[in-house]
């Protein structure tokens, strides 16, 4: 199983190692292209986490041979100015992918902005056309990089998805809903849990595959899962003492899981790797060779 480290309990899924392998694959693919794919990343404001993410994305692009254009705009940038920038990038034939970093300042309508990104350049998979294609099971559009990373992780680990019971906790547009759609497209029976679900624990106990993405530290505990479950923890939470933890209580859940992602070092690195794959896909879809 690629990208795993075996513990005395569950198999620990090494997302960093797996992502490194994918980035090497992307680098080799880009080296064979006649042109150079280009990703434009827009960051509005000074959110510390977003600044780190944007820097990491740009560094990964350059390492893989992809051109990275960063547009760092002040927090007071108007919605009109942002929409005008997106429009220019949509029309720029030298730009293959556009990513607007979330979250944006409160005075900007995020849905409006992601809705005007050209579906052919929407490497974040949030444009209406790409959401529709994903729901219909089509492969010609783009899906968000984090759910893609989850599915790629399962594929490389040779986890059987077809016919299995998958439970997704969280229904965000960026992770929960798209990963549920992708699991359904792969043949799983999917249950999506959220704040209105009467008994989340009753649902998670049935899961063969459990994906958690809500941003609540240690929400899922060992008594909520069955023996042998595959656990993918997408959550990233900073505790008061500075420690980074996921949405899963790792120590108790790993005693019952067959495989589990740690936080950090699990899904996070896969997000950037799959984003770069989307950029190369966009380049080819736009006629690049």
pLDDT digits 0-9 by tens, 187-223 = 999 999 998 899 999 999 999 999 999 999 999 999 9
The pLDDT value recorded for residue 6 is: 42
Q: Does residue 62 contact residue 245 with C-beta atoms inside 8 Å?
A: no
Instruction: Report pLDDT for 136.
Output: 87
pLDDT score, position 111: 93
User: Measured between alpha carbons, how far is 78 from 247 in angstroms, rounded to an integer?
Assistant: 34
Task: Classify residue 55 as exposed, middle or buried by CB count within 10 Å of its CB (0-12, 13-18, 19+).
Answer: middle
The predicted pLDDT at position 9 comes to 74
pLDDT band at 135 (very low <50, low <70, confident <90, very high): confident
What is the pLDDT of the chain when averaged over all its residues? Answer: 94
Alpha-carbon distance 129 to 82, whole Å? Answer: 21
Phi, then psi, of 114 in degrees rounded to 5: -65, -25
245-279 burial code (b ≥16 CB/10 A, e <16):
bbbbbbebbbebbebbbbbebbbbbbbbbbbbbbb
β-strand partners of 73? 44
Q: Which of 14, 122, 124, 208 is catalytic?
A: 124
180: tokens are 């549920």
* Residue 101 a catalytic site member: yes
Instruction: Tell me what percent of the residues of the chain surpass a pLDDT of 70.
Output: 97
Residue 125 tokens read as: 């998979």
Helix (H, G, I), strand (E, B) or coil at 189: strand
70 has catalytic annotation: no
pLDDT in tens, 146-155: 999 999 999 9
Helix extents (H) in the chain: 15-31, 48-64, 79-91, 110-116, 128-135, 145-156, 176-185, 200-204, 250-253, 267-285
Looking at 101, 122, 164, 208, which residue is catalytic? 101
Rounded Cα distance between 163 and 86, Å, is 41
Sign of the Cα pseudo-torsion (211, 216, 218, 224, in order): negative
What per-residue confidence (pLDDT) applies to 7?
44
Catalytic residue among 14, 57, 121, 277: 57
Whether residue 286 lies in the annotated active site? no
């Amino acid at each position: 199983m690629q990208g795993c480290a075996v513990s005395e309990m569950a198999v620990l899924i090494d997302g960093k190692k797996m992502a490194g392998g994918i980035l090497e694959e992307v680098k080799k693919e880009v080296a064979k292209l006649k042109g150079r794919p280009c990703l434009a990343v827009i960051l509005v404001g000074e959110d510390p986490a977003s600044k780190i993410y944007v820097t990491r994305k740009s560094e990964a692009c350059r390492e893989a041979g992809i051109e990275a254009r960063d547009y760092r705009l002040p927090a007071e940038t108007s919605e009109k100015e942002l929409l005008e920038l997106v429009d220019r990038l949509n029309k720029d034939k030298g730009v293959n992918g556009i990513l607007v970093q979330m979250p944006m300042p409160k005075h900007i309508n995020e849905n409006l902005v992601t809705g005007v990104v050209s579906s052919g350049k929407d490497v974040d998979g949030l444009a209406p056309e790409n959401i529709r294609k994903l729901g219909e099971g089509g492969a010609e559009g783009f899906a968000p990089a984090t759910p893609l990373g989850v599915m790629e992780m399962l594929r490389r680990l040779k986890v059987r998805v077809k016919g299995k019971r998958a439970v997704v906790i969280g229904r965000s547009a960026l992770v929960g809903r798209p990963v549920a759609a992708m699991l359904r497209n792969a043949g799983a029976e999917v249950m999506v849990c959220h704040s209105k679900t009467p008994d989340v624990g009753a649902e998670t106990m049935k899961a063969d595959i459990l994906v958690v993405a809500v941003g609540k530290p240690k929400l899922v505990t060992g008594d909520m899962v069955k023996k042998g479950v595959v656990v993918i923890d997408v959550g990233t939470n900073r505790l008061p003492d500075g420690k980074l933890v996921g949405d899963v209580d790792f120590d108790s859940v790993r005693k019952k899981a067959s495989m589990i992602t740690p936080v950090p070092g699990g899904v996070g690195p896969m997000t950037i790797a799959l984003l770069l794959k989307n950029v190369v896909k966009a380049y080819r879809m736009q006629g690049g060779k």
